[in-house]
Amino acid sequence: MALGAAGFVFSTFGTLRLTAAAAIGAGIATFVGSIFPDIDHHASVPRRKATRALQILVVSGLAALAALQFETIVSVSATAISMAGVDAPPEAAAGAGIALFALAVAGIVDPTLGALTRNHRGWTHNPLIMFVLTGVVCSAMWYLTTGLAVAEQVTAVTVVGTFYIGVLIHLGLDGEVV
Ligand SMILES: [Zn+2]
């Protein structure tokens, strides 16, 4: 799957840097997709693994976004610092703010999963619901990457899309899809 996505990106855009990013990203997204459905299996090993994987995915996603938008975040924190009347370098404040936010988000991943998934093999094992969910995340990714080169945008969305392939692999292994 990773190879497929990488091949698609390479043949479409012909850049090695994007191809490598697509291969790695698609590999991770497919893996996360293949364990994601079992997050509804409470206290299971897959659940714990999925929680960890999701936390890593969320934190690295935030880190990537923060890196892309670092200048904006620094200028926002510079404003906040001057409004608060404290004397601190805005870059450090921005970094600390991003780290705190990432920690907080990682911390709510587990309880959120618990609240969202009550029954095993519920909505996370429904191919249609997962398709819609992947579509929503793909659209969000497209929106978040507006302003980047189209090639990079398409790569990001393709990588997110391979998450669904992972989900299908999982459902196939569960015997829920022919
Ligand atoms: Zn399952």
Its sign, for the CA torsion 86, 90, 92, 97, is positive
Q: What is the pLDDT of residues 77-130, one digit of tens each?
A: 889 888 888 888 888 888 888 888 888 888 888 787 777 776 667 888 899 999
pLDDT at 175: 73
Q: What is the DSSP letter of 131?
A: H
> What residues flank ion ligand 1 with Cβ within 5 A?
37-38, 174
Under DSSP, is residue 119 helix (H, G, I), strand (E, B) or coil?
coil
d(CA 2, CA 153): 17
What does the domain layout of the chain look like in residue ranges?
Answer: 1-42+120-178, 44-116
Q: Ligand 1 centre from 19 Cα, in Å?
A: 31
Specify the pTM.
0.61
Q: Name which of 4, 5, 18 is nearest 158 in CA terms.
A: 5
Q: Ligand 1 centre from 171 Cα, in Å?
A: 6
Question: Hey, which bits of the chain come out as E strands?
Answer: none
